[in-house]
Structure 1
């Protein structure tokens, strides 16, 4: 009788372990989907910000170019047009950031760094572990209890 009960308990335990594994896998998939959605929203906000900034900078660039051109013609000094060159580089960067392929080139470069330059990505003192975090937490608790005394 005990053997049958033990066999039944083992089967239930195995089913429960499979159920827990399935649940933890579902939870991990949901977390990954949530993190990806948050990343996409943040990137969309960055692109939207770049486009909004481009609107203001484009207006500034246009007014500045018009003013510098009129000033250069009025004073007959071509040197007054010099600021247009660096401003045009900034404008080109902003256009590329807002509507161009800058994000794609940046992503490709990041993938290249991740595959060929792993040493640049390592954290100081390595990846945090549960033990290192727990040790730090305990040290903080004991330090705060010393301060309270």
Structure 2
């Protein structure tokens, strides 16, 4: 009877460990999925912002271009190409924004980010390294100590 009880406890312990491992795996997978969905939403929001800004830049550019052309043509005795010169930098600004909003600039940025992650890891290093549980606890204790010493000061 005692031997059966010990074997049964070991089986239950093993099943509990397997269950906990499976629950932890599901929890981690859910966290990863939540983070991915939040990132996707933030990226979509940034693209939408870029497209909205492009409409404003594009409108400003077209109005400026129309004004510059009218100014160039309406003064026949002063027809100088220098009056169209401000359109050059504006063309670059609008082209950049159009590429960001509707072109493949985001794809090129992702490719460059992947290149940095693969071949330039040293650029990704955090100052003072990855936070540890001890450094987080130390910071928490310092904040608590500061709160005790200066209770009226706003906490950061």
State the TM-score bracket (shorter-chain normalisation): over 0.9
RMSD: 1.5
Asked whether 1:139 is paired with 2:142, we answer yes
Give 1:111's match in structure 2, choosing from 98, 111, 114: 114
Distance in 2 (alpha carbons) for counterparts of 1:132 and 1:15: 36
Distance in 2 (alpha carbons) for counterparts of 1:146 and 1:55: 53
Equivalent residue, structure 1, for 2:82: 79
Asked whether 1:21 is paired with 2:21, we answer yes
Deviation larger for 73-82 or 112-121: 73-82
SS of equivalent to 1:126: coil
Equivalent residue, structure 2, for 1:32: 32
Equivalent residue, structure 2, for 1:130: 133
Equivalent residue, structure 1, for 2:154: none
User: 4+ residue stretches of structure 1 with deviation over 3 A?
Assistant: none
Equivalent residue, structure 1, for 2:47: 47
**Structure 1 gap segments, 5+ residues each:** none
Equivalent residue, structure 2, for 1:95: 98
Q: Against the structure 1 CA distance between its residues 3 and 142, is the aligned structure 2 distance closer, same or farther, given a 3 Å change threshold?
A: farther
Contact 1:72 1:79 survives alignment (8 Å)? no
Deviation at 1:73, TM superposition (A): 2.4
TM-score by length of 1: 0.93
Offset from partner CA, 1:37-76 (integer Å, 9 cap, x none): 1111111111111111111111110000010111122332
Distance in 2 (alpha carbons) for counterparts of 1:147 and 1:7: 59
TM-score by length of 2: 0.89
Distance in 2 (alpha carbons) for counterparts of 1:115 and 1:99: 27
**Structure 2 gap segments, 5+ residues each:** 152-156
Distance in 1 (alpha carbons) for counterparts of 2:24 and 2:149: 40
Equivalent residue, structure 1, for 2:3: 3
